[in-house]
Amino acid sequence: MKVVNYTELRVNLKKWLDLVVNDVEELIIKRKNNQDLVVITLEEYNSLKETSYLLSGKNREVLIKSLEESKAGKSKEHKLIEE
């Protein structure tokens, strides 16, 4: 994770954005009054949103129940269907 101030970001915007994309690196932009920002790729953002969705609400309950059943030895092994 890299940290840059707003002025440096403006001067070298391409360099910093390329770093985020090419190195899959998060970039923190320091601003006044602790209004900092984080720059990530769209792919990483979408992945975070998907994970957040999968771990929320009803789906979270289903996942927790499945894990509990598996730990209790109530799971079954199945062969995958190959196409």
HEC secondary structure over the chain:
CEEEEHHHHHHCHHHHHHHHHHCCCCEEEECHHHCCEEECCHHHHHHHHHHHHHCCHHHHHHHHHHHHHHHCCCCCCCCCCCC
Tokens of 58: 């009803």
Handedness of CA 80, 56, 60, 37 (dihedral sign): positive
Same domain, 36 and 13: yes
Query: Is 34 part of any domain?
Result: yes
- Please count the structural domains in the chain: 2
Query: Is 78 part of any domain?
Result: no
The tens place of each residue's pLDDT in the chain, 83 residues long, gives 999 999 999 999 999 999 999 999 999 999 999 999 999 999 999 999 999 988 888 888 888 999 999 999 988 888 989 87
Query: Is 23 part of any domain?
Result: yes
Structural domain including 29 reads 2-40
Same domain, 45 and 62: yes
